[in-house]
């Protein structure tokens, strides 16, 4: 498109939608489209459903990729050490907004820029990890959506006990180095005391830690609680396979783990979280400051059960439990 034609088209778009003009004018002056820096914590394949929901919502709001908005995708592949470098790249590219998720990536974004707006699509406790002042008034350049993973920890143990009546010993598979892990483990310990359960935590910080963790927990657990974090997400097929080999029923906070062969999950619908992150980005691109956009809570929660895995483990899931499930994999 010729420059004159582009300016004419841009002027028409601004007349049709005055609220978009401030950013469109800045983008024109910079000689580029408004640009979103999208940092995925996993691989593109692992979170394809979430990314697609985000892009689709932008389209519904009038932001068409490569037409009037650009998206620079980067993937941490489950490695938290990649985040600072990716954020630094976004800063060099002068993106207009950064979208990410998972505690380590969000903290890296906060440390990397206090100027570029940041939208987090999912994090357990944004106030607790210090990225916002409060949910109602985030302050600074960051806003987004909480996923309440920590708050739901006790509920996951309760539903696990419903399908594993003899549950006495629970193993926890988690990256203890992540900021919000301690918060969730605290919730699990409180729930375990109430239910008279013994719990033991097995730390995984890189791919190579997974097999040794399963060797260490062998014979020490009746079931496995799997944290919802990038390393687990990226290795979900491997972890669910090792759990089945060890005859361990599993519960996780994200449905993709059940798709990969885990027994069940309970938590917010992450595709919906990413979709709603699109609304936050839309507001920012149209001129609203992140500090003025309240952090939102989940509105959709999924209970997903894999009956194929239940059968392989010799478990019978009560019908009364199945009717409460959002989805049953058969």
Domain coverage including residue 311 = 153-268+302-329
- Residues with Cβ within 8 Å of 308's Cβ and at least 6 positions away in sequence, in order, are 261, 329, 330
Same structural domain, 14 and 133: yes
Same structural domain, 140 and 14: yes
Same structural domain, 8 and 141: yes
**Among 185, 325, 173, residue whose Cα is nearest residue 252:** 173
Same structural domain, 136 and 157: no
Handedness of CA 242, 246, 249, 252 (dihedral sign): negative
Output the CA angle 132-108-60, nearest 5 degrees. Answer: 70
Q: Contact 261/309 with Cβ under 8 angstroms?
A: yes
The domain tally of the chain equals: 2
- pLDDT, residue 6, reads 36
Same structural domain, 142 and 213: no
Same structural domain, 117 and 15: yes
The whole-angstrom separation of Cα 199 and Cα 193 is 9
* Burial readout 275-299 (b: 16 or more C-beta within 10 A, e: otherwise): bbbbbbbbbbbbeeebbebebbebe
Same structural domain, 189 and 314: yes
The whole-angstrom separation of Cα 22 and Cα 37 is 19
Same structural domain, 282 and 246: no
- pLDDT, residue 67, reads 96
- pLDDT, residue 30, reads 53
DSSP codes joined into one string, 265-296: EEEE-HHHHHHHHHHHHHHHHTT--GGGSPPB
- In CATH, what number is assigned to the domain containing residue 59? 3.40.50.2300
Same structural domain, 140 and 285: yes
Same structural domain, 172 and 51: no
Give the bridge partners for 251, in sequence order: 225, 264
Q: Contact 272/53 with Cβ under 8 angstroms?
A: yes
Q: No. of H helices and E strands in the chain?
A: 14, 12
pLDDT tens for the 330 residues of the chain, in order: 433 343 333 333 333 333 344 554 455 445 689 999 999 999 898 899 999 999 999 999 999 999 999 999 999 998 889 999 999 999 999 999 999 999 899 999 999 999 999 999 999 889 988 999 999 999 999 999 998 877 889 999 999 999 998 899 999 999 888 877 888 888 899 999 999 999 999 999 999 999 999 999 999 999 999 998 888 888 999 999 999 999 999 999 989 999 999 999 999 999 999 999 999 999 999 999 999 999 999 999 999 999 999 999 999 999 999 999 999 999
Same structural domain, 129 and 226: no
Same structural domain, 254 and 174: yes
């Amino acid at each position: 498109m010729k420059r004159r034609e582009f300016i004419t088209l841009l002027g028409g778009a601004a007349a049709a939608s005055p609220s978009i003009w401030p950013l469109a004018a800045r983008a024109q002056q910079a000689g580029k489209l408004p640009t979103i820096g999208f940092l995925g914590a996993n691989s593109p394949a692992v979170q394809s459903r979430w990314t697609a929901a985000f892009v689709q919502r932008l389209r519904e709001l009038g932001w068409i990729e490569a037409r009037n908005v650009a998206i620079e995708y980067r993937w941490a592949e489950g490695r938290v050490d990649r985040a600072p470098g990716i954020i630094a790249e976004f800063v060099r590219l002068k993106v207009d907004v950064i979208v990410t998720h998972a505690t380590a990536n969000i903290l890296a974004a906060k440390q990397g820029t206090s100027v570029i707006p940041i939208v987090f699509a999912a994090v357990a406790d944004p106030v607790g990890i210090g990225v916002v002042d409060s949910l109602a008034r985030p302050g600074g350049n960051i806003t987004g959506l909480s996923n309440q993973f920590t708050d739901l920890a006790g509920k996951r143990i309760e539903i696990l006990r419903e399908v594993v009546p003899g549950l006495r010993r629970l193993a926890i598979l988690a990256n203890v180095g992540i900021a919000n892990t301690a918060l969730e483990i605290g919730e699990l310990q409180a729930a375990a005391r109430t239910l008279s359960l013994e719990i033991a935590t097995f730390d995984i910080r890189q791919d190579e830690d997974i097999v040794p963790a399963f060797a260490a927990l062998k014979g020490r657990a009746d079931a496995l609680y799997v944290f919802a974090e990038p390393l687990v997400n990226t290795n979900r097929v491997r972890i669910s396979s090792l759990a089945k080999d060890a005859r361990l029923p599993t519960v996780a906070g994200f449905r993709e783990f059940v798709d990969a062969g885990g027994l069940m999950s309970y938590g917010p619908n992450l595709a919906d979280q990413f979709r709603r992150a699109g609304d936050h980005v839309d507001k920012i691109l149209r001129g609203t400051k992140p500090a003025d956009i309240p952090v939102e809570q989940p509105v959709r929660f999924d209970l997903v059960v894999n009956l194929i895995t239940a059968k392989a483990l010799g478990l019978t899931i009560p019908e009364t439990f199945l009717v409460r499930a959002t989805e049953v994999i058969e």
